[in-house]
Amino acid sequence: MGTSTTVSSALLTRFQAVRSLTDSLSEPLCAEDQVVQSMPDASPTKWHRAHTTWFFETFVLPRRSGGHAPFHPAYGYLFNSYYEAVGARHARNERGLLSRPTVDEVAAYRRHIDTAVGDLLTGEPLDDATATLIELGINHEQQHQELLLMDIKHLLAQNPLRPEYAEPWQQPSSTEPPPLQWHEHDGGIVPVGHQGEGFAFDNESPRHDVLLAPFRLADRLTTCGEWIEFIDDGGYERAELWLSDGWARRCDEQWDAPLYWHREDEHWRVFTLRGDRPVNPAEPVCHVSFFEADAYARWAGARLPHEAEWETVAVEQLDAGPLEGHFLDDGPYHPTAASSTWRHHPVRQLFGDVWEFTSSPYIGYPGFSPAAGAVGEYNGKFMSGQMVLRGGCCVTPWNHIRPTYRNFFPPHSRWQFGGVRLASDDD
């Protein structure tokens, strides 16, 4: 079955908007910024720009009736991330050594592929499978927009000059968080996972039932002020609060505060994409690992939510009103205090601000099977040794998130915008 002209036109509009946003996110960066790789997990901006383009060139354009001649014979090798089915690739930890192609050449690559995808969307009738792959490419690029900002933040933070990605944010943020209250839920047998017509990644399916005991979910995120209490109470020195692997990692890497925090004259400061500034005690704590989140929850006499608990509350909230949250489109590039957020819902900050750690390991839902072919490598092969995070963050595009969305990171990772929402058993 073919896709209608209206659908193709809507897809083209979204394709162009997403591609243009990636370019605008790169604009504040000079060529030198865009080339360097600060650690194996983080990729250079130039690589993100080229790799997202490669995705469309590799998975979409060969489906054109006349086929597709590669833009450059080496780009398939340079910009394939992890797709074994597509062939060999440049080492992930050596992406920062690619001084060529230049930033300008990558920009030309982007323009060329944009034109080709535009021609495809306005020319011949589109088959459903191709439309689905373009949709996947759009969502893939949105994931890389967030990665681009996470990775450039990590790079800029290594520089003693403390360079700003953008001007300091001028809108005042409250310094007094509302008191934490508990949202009670009866539990029961609840449906979990994606259903319906809209886009979702394969890891959000199949939809299935989960049995939940009655539970309580914090009505806001854990704040920096609460995290300072944890630090001051010896949270980073007390092994009994930590999982064994977490304690080992804390010792090896000498964690004593969230990533990007540093102490100056007895006061905590934080490096943000909008410069180095004092920690605001009312803002959600950010850039902690799962191990730290878990230790904090134990210290607080609580626990992290199961992903099904989080999703159940999020779905009920969206059934009752609009999606609220602070996202990439809002502009601070940093989480915002709860007291300045909208208050249409009983549980604040579920979406945006920080990715919320859950206690759930990232595994396939019952009956999960990856898609056939190379795109089946997108999510399924990473279902080992990682934890699920929910809700999106302050550098997630607002139209990229859903209540069923499952992000995942290793339990020691700190450079993603990860934060904490407490849960507890209802007793």
Q: Which residues bind Fe ion (CB under 5 A)?
A: 81
User: Least separation, in Å, of the C-beta of 109 and Fe ion?
Assistant: 16
Cα torsion through 156, 159, 163, 164, rounded to 10: 30
User: Least separation, in Å, of the C-beta of 58 and Fe ion?
Assistant: 11
Cβ closest to Fe ion, residue 34 vs residue 349: 34
Backbone angles phi, psi at 223, to 5 degrees: -100, 165
Tell which residue, 208, 236, 227, 242, has the closest CA to residue 311.
208
User: Least separation, in Å, of the C-beta of 44 and Fe ion?
Assistant: 14
Cβ closest to Fe ion, residue 81 vs residue 142: 81
Cβ closest to Fe ion, residue 26 vs residue 81: 81
Tell which residue, 282, 276, 247, 249, has the closest CA to residue 261.
276
Cβ closest to Fe ion, residue 81 vs residue 272: 81
Backbone angles phi, psi at 332, to 5 degrees: -70, -25
Cβ closest to Fe ion, residue 114 vs residue 377: 377
The helix-helix angle for 5-26 and 128-157 (nearest 10°) equals 10
User: Least separation, in Å, of the C-beta of 132 and Fe ion?
Assistant: 17
CA angle 216, 217, 219 (to 5 degrees): 130
User: Least separation, in Å, of the C-beta of 79 and Fe ion?
Assistant: 9
User: Least separation, in Å, of the C-beta of 136 and Fe ion?
Assistant: 11
Cβ closest to Fe ion, residue 133 vs residue 338: 133
- When CB distances to Fe ion are compared, the closest residue is 81
User: Measured between alpha carbons, how far is 224 from 222 in angstroms, rounded to an integer?
Assistant: 7
Tell which residue, 181, 168, 167, has the closest CA to residue 348.
181
Backbone angles phi, psi at 109, to 5 degrees: -60, -45
